[in-house]
Amino acid sequence: MAERTLVILKPGALQRGLVGEVISRFEKRGLKLVALKMVRLTDEVLDIHYAHLKDRPFFPWLKNGMKAAPVILCCWEGCEAVKVVREMAGATNARKAVPGTIRGDYSMSAQENIIHTSDSPENAAIELDRFFVPEDYCEYQSVLDPFKYSPDEI
Ligand code: UDP
Ligand code: MG
C-alpha cells in the first residue's frame, strides 16, 4: 500500500551542496516525489516538530542548526515509504550510521545529520500536515510503476 513520508533536507545539506545527491537517492530507489518546497523554519514550528527533545541540553543548538539556512521539505510516496526512507537515512548519530546510508555517507555528526525523516506512518501524516497544505501536493501518474512494483504492491 502506498504511503507518504516527510523528508527535510537540513541546512547543512543545502550549504554543503548535497540537495541534488540526496534527492537523487530517493528518486533512484523508485520513490515518487509528490511535494517539494524551500522554506526557513521558525522557532514556533521547531518547538512543535522537535517537542520530544525540548528538555535535552542540545535543544537550543538543534534549533539554531535548523534555522541556520533554508531547508528543503519534500514528500515521497511509495510502498512502505516511511520505513524505506528512514532506513536510507541511517542512524541518528551519523558516526554510527552504516556506510551506504545518507547519514553514513555524508555526515560525521549526531546533530548535523543531513536529513529528517518521519519515524512512523502516524507521525508522517502529522508532520506532512505540519508543513504542507493540500494544494502543495501535485497529482500525476507515475508511468513507470508497473516496472517498479508487482500488481499487489500498488
Ligand atoms: N539530535 C542531536 N543529538 C542527539 C539526538 C538528536 O543533536 O543526541 C538531533 C539530530 O539532528 C536529530 C534530531 O535531533 O536528527 C531529532 O532527533 P530524533 O531522536 O528524532 O532523531 P531522528 O528521527 O532525526 O533520527
Ligand atoms: Mg525523529
pLDDT for 117-144, tens place per residue? Answer: 999 999 999 999 999 999 999 999 999 9
Contact 4, 124 (CB under 8 A): yes
Reported pTM: 0.98
Task: Please tell me which residue in 116, 118, 124, 127 is annotated as part of the active site.
Answer: 116
Q: Is 71 helix (H, G, I), strand (E, B) or coil?
A: strand
Residue 7 contacts residue 26 (beta carbons within 8 Å): yes
Q: In this structure, how many other beta carbons lie within 10 angstroms of the beta carbon of residue 80?
A: 14
Return the residue whose CA atom lies nearest to atom 9 of ligand 1. 111
Going by pLDDT thresholds of 50, 70 and 90, the confidence category of residue 1 is confident
Task: State the Cα–Cα distance between residues 1 and 154, nearest whole angstrom.
Answer: 6
Confidence band, pLDDT 50/70/90 cuts, at residue 32? very high
Q: How confident is the model at residue 25 (pLDDT cuts 50, 70, 90)?
A: very high
pLDDT of amino acid 117? 99
The pLDDT value given to residue 52:
98
Residue 113: the pLDDT is 98
Neighbours of 64 (CB within 10 A): 13
Q: Judge whether 116 counts as a catalytic residue.
A: yes
CB 137 within 8 A of CB 35: yes
Residue 36 beta carbon below 6 angstroms from any ligand 1 atom: no
Q: Residue 63 in contact with residue 54, Cβ under 8 Å? A: no
Q: What is the pLDDT of residue 154?
A: 85
- The residue to mutate among 7, 10, 53, having the most atoms of ligand 1 within 8 angstroms of its beta carbon, is 53
pLDDT, tens digit (0-9, with 9 covering 90-100), for 62-86: 999 999 999 999 999 999 999 999 9
Considering the chain, what is the average pLDDT of its residues? 98
* Among candidate residues 78, 62, 73, 84, the one with its CA nearest the CA of residue 7: 73
pLDDT at 35 over 90: yes
**Residue with CA closest to ligand 1 atom 13:** 111
Q: Please report where in the chains the cell 515509504 appears, as a residue.
A: 81
Substitution candidate for ligand 1 out of 111, 112, 122 with most atoms within 8 A of CB: 111
| Section 11-31 average pLDDT | 98
